[in-house]
Chain A
Amino acid sequence: MTAPAPLAGRERPAGPGSLDVDRRDRREPSARSCRRPAEPGSLDVDHLREAFPILDQEVHGHPLVYLDNAASSQRPDVVIDAISDCYRTYYANAHRGVHTLSERSTDAYEAARGGIARFIGATGSAELIFTRGATESLNLVAQSYARPRLGPGDEVLLTEMEHHSNIVPWQLACEQTGARVRAAGVTDAGDLDLGAMAGLIGERTRVVALTHVSNALGTVNDVAAVVELVRDRSDAAVVVDGAQAVPHMEVDVSALGCDFYAFSGHKMYGPGGIGGLWGRAELLASMPPYHGGGAMITRVTFDRTEYTAPPHRFEAGTPSIAPAIGLGVAVEFLESVGLGRIERHEQELLSHTMEVLGELPWVRVLGHPAPAAGAPRAAVVSLVIDGAHPHDVATILDEQGIAIRAGHHCAQPLMERLGVPATVRASFGMYNTHEEVDRLAAGLHEVRRIFG
């Protein structure tokens, strides 16, 4: 069969991202759980936390303090319920059947696509491909966009602060084509060295891939400025890893001016195993499929196959229907809380963290010392403690119910650049509190007491 036109649903009003009427009704709890706080512009965190059932528990006899959001966030009841509801009441394969459940599943799946596309500022839902997450999104771009365009002598420019998921796919594509990977440097403060980067962009640069927000340092890169550098010097595509940005700040891919933007559901209060890739419509249209299979074809014979248009061309096989619907609900949840509010709240948490840690001379915070104008930083704090290895710090904090990450954060080149084998990383989300920052500080005092 041919793929139905996106958003073609009987009950749905026109326009990408329009909400399915049924689903809107079922989302009733989310409207309650994130009602607008009394004071405009601020977040009612105590109330918000009630929407996240997992937060209400003790670990080793202490109330859980979850500060590992950069690795994976938690999800609210509305997301969990949406997945459960899909499987319990209307699940069937999408884009296949003419029966009622298949139509409902297809409608909900495509409505989720529309909502997510609108959320990140896409011009249409056809520009939004569902993937398993940012990693798969970046692999898709490396293989379907870059690989056919790369040859010996060509270059893919990365930065020293990339997650391995924005390094290895490019290395694979370069190995396959004879192109080479280069990396733009990072300053001691953890900023991208734009001047040095400009010098690395040339005629042979085919792709510039960078993270929007560093998962290890919280550095927020000026993507628009990088895009400008690239456009002035080459025809390279700009690929952005937005996994750490989307849940924490307003992202508008059109305003950023990039060509591809990747993100993961599980880091944005959505389900695991689902994510997205936004790509410029004309670029997506020029790209061969990433995987072959059902749902991405219009006609198959043994001689040749004709492919569907994007986004379905890149979604071979039965998609992750319920997780995609869950991600759509997570996006609605983010919108209802408000990205502006979330960002302000997390910036306050960051300021408080910096203040508290600043009083501990045996703690060294990597990256920018404080959020400052012109050098924005997300609420991700990597630190090292004199005389205590991050793994030991993590164990001691865990014993006090505090979940942080210790290690290289899948950014070994950055760790090498900064001269540390590993760090302790506290990463915040919308539901974290100032009290939790104080608990972190108290936990670090316990580390100090033991390791002295």
Chain B
Amino acid sequence: MSDLRDLYQQVILDHYRAPRNFGALEPVSSCAEGYNPLCGDKVKVYLRADGDRIECVSFEGVGCAISTASASLMTEAVQGLERSRAEELLGAFLALMTGEDDGGGAGVPLGKLEVLSGVKDYPVRIKCATLAWHALRAALGSGDAGAVSTE
């Protein structure tokens, strides 16, 4: 079961059981919802900005270990970043998942997010890992980002 150990690393299980930055944010600059109609997983990402800097990020929703851990790790990773840096990180993470590095994320260190790299070997689970990130992208876009779907 070495493959499964790559997928379900302790860090992932830890973030699944005890997600960080979980819950609605108040006040909030923008928020966006991600929905995977295939499995019904939902995640809402809240973002509070201070000028160009992301002051605070949180999320709430129902999801599997992969989507919950990915959302939790994401909130830790983008907290305090400049918007442009957050977008770079987002590009790098999506490139890691899809295996298609278009150069946008090249050279961006992923740090702790690397624990999710095992997901790319499970194609049907990639959308679980990217759900919160698509919601983050929508939230970074404009004030009221509405909902995004992975389908």
Contact = CB atoms under 8 A, between A and B. Distances in A.
4 nearest A-B residue pairs (beta carbon) = A389-B64, A391-B64, A392-B65, A408-B40
A101 interface: no
Interface stretch (B3-11, B23-31, B46-54, B85-93): B3-11
Contacts of A415: 40
Given A407-B40, A422-B40, A392 B66 contact: yes
A446 B8 contact: no
10 contacts: A388-B65, A390-B39, A391-B39, A391-B41, A391-B125, A395-B4, A395-B7, A407-B38, A407-B39, A446-B1
Nearest to A408: B40
Interface in A416-452: 421-422, 446, 450-451
A399 interface: yes
Given A391-B125, A408-B40, A450 B63 contact: no
Given A399-B1, A451-B65, A406 B39 contact: yes
B145 interface: no
Contacts of B17: 387
Nearest to A396: B4
Contact of B4 (A387, A389, A399, A407): A399
B62 interface: yes
B8 to A, nearest CB: 5
Contacts of B8: 392, 396, 450-451
Contact of A422 (B13, B39, B122, B125): B39
A416 B122 CA distance: 28
A243 to B, nearest CB: 20
Given A395-B124, A399-B3, 17 more contacts: A389-B68, A390-B39, A391-B41, A391-B64, A392-B8, A392-B64, A392-B66, A395-B122, A396-B8, A408-B40, A421-B41, A421-B62, A446-B1, A450-B4, A450-B8, A450-B13, A451-B13
A412 interface: yes
A395 B3 CA distance: 11
Interface residues of B, number: 21
Interface in B51-86: 62-66, 68
B135 interface: no
B17 to A, nearest CB: 7
B128 interface: yes
B1 A391 contact: no
Of residues A395, A415, A450, which shows the largest number of chain B Cβ atoms within 10 Å of its Cβ?
A: A395
Contacts of B41: 391, 421
B107 to A, nearest CB: 31
B44 to A, nearest CB: 14
A415 B40 CA distance: 10
A446 B3 CA distance: 13
A146 to B, nearest CB: 27
B10 to A, nearest CB: 10
Contact of A395 (B63, B68, B125): B125
A315 B39 CA distance: 35
Contacts of B125: 391, 395
Contacts of B65: 388-389, 392, 451
Nearest to B17: A387
A391 B150 CA distance: 16
Interface in A373-391: 387-391
Of residues A389, A408, A422, which shows the largest number of chain B Cβ atoms within 10 Å of its Cβ?
A: A389
